[in-house]
Structure 1
Amino acid sequence: MVQSKKKILTNTTIAFLPRGRVTFGNSAGKGLLVEIEKNPSQGPEGKVLVSTATYNEKDNLKPLVEEIRNILPQCHILVIDDNSPDGTGELADQLARDFGNIHVIHRAGKQGLGTAILAGMKFALENDFYCFINMDADFSHDPKYLPFLYEGMAANDVMIGSRYVPGGGTENWPASRKFMSANVNRLVRFLFGMPVKDASGGYRAYKVDILRKANLENVKSRGYSFQQEVLFRCFRAGAKIGEHPILFANRRAGSSKVSMKEVIRSLSLLTWLGIKAKFSSNP
Structure 2
Amino acid sequence: MLTKTLVSPTPLPAAWADTALTVVMPTYNEAGNLPRMAETLMALAEELPGLSLLVVDDSSPDGTGELAESLAERYNTHRVRMRVLHRTEKDGLGRAYAAGMTRAVEDGAAYVLQMDADGSHPAQKVAEMLGVALSTGAGVVVGSRYVPGGSLSDAWGAHRKLLSRWANTYASAILGTRVRDITGGFNLWRADTLRAIDLASVGSAGYSFQVEMKYAALRRGFGVMEVPIHFEDRTVGESKMNFAVQLESMAMPWKLRAAARGRR
TM-score by length of 1: 0.81
1:65 partner amino acid: A
SS at match of 1:197: coil
Per residue, is there more helix in 1 or in 2?
2
Per-residue displacement from partner, 1:152-202 (whole Å, max 9, x unpaired)? 111122110100001101112122222221122112212222221100000
1:1-283 → structure 2 map (5 Å cutoff): 44=17, 46-72=19-45, 73-74=48-49, 75-100=51-76, 101-154=81-134, 155=136, 156-171=138-153, 172-281=155-264
Question: C-alpha separation between the residues in 2 aligned to 1:90 and 1:257?
Answer: 20
Q: Per-residue deviation at 1:71?
A: 2.2
Question: C-alpha separation between the residues in 2 aligned to 1:191 and 1:258?
Answer: 22
Contact 2:142/2:188 (8 A) holds in 1:
yes
Q: Per-residue deviation at 1:43?
A: 5.2
Identical amino acids, percent of aligned pairs = 36
Question: C-alpha separation between the residues in 2 aligned to 1:79 and 1:107?
Answer: 11
Contact 2:110/2:190 (8 A) holds in 1:
yes
Per-residue displacement from partner, 1:71-111 (whole Å, max 9, x unpaired)? 24421100000111111111100011111211101111212
Question: C-alpha separation between the residues in 2 aligned to 1:265 and 1:194?
Answer: 19
Contact 1:168/1:247 (8 A) holds in 2:
yes
Rg larger for: 1
1:264 partner amino acid: L
Contact 1:50/1:76 (8 A) holds in 2:
yes
Contact 2:102/2:199 (8 A) holds in 1:
no
SS at match of 2:33: helix
Contact 1:191/1:275 (8 A) holds in 2:
no
Contact 1:215/1:233 (8 A) holds in 2:
no
Question: C-alpha separation between the residues in 2 aligned to 1:84 and 1:261?
Answer: 20
2:260 partner amino acid: A
Aligned residues, how many?
Answer: 240
Question: C-alpha separation between the residues in 1 aligned to 2:82 and 2:244?
Answer: 34
Question: C-alpha separation between the residues in 2 aligned to 1:233 and 1:123?
Answer: 19
Contact 2:33/2:236 (8 A) holds in 1:
yes
Question: C-alpha separation between the residues in 2 aligned to 1:97 and 1:163?
Answer: 35
Per-residue displacement from partner, 1:27-60 (whole Å, max 9, x unpaired)? xxxxxxxxxxxxxxx9546311011000111111
Q: Per-residue deviation at 1:68?
A: 0.7
Q: Which ranges of structure 2 fall in alignment gaps of 5 or more residues?
A: 1-14
Q: How has the CA–CA distance of structure 1 residues 209 and 244 changed in structure 2, closer, same or farther, with 3 Å as cutoff?
A: same
Contact 2:58/2:87 (8 A) holds in 1:
yes
Q: Per-residue deviation at 1:148?
A: 1.3
Q: Which ranges of structure 1 fall in alignment gaps of 5 or more residues?
A: 1-41
Q: How has the CA–CA distance of structure 1 residues 97 and 60 changed in structure 2, closer, same or farther, with 3 Å as cutoff?
A: same
Runs of 4+ in structure 1 off by over 6 angstroms are none
More deviation, 191-200/222-231: 191-200
More deviation, 105-114/67-76: 67-76
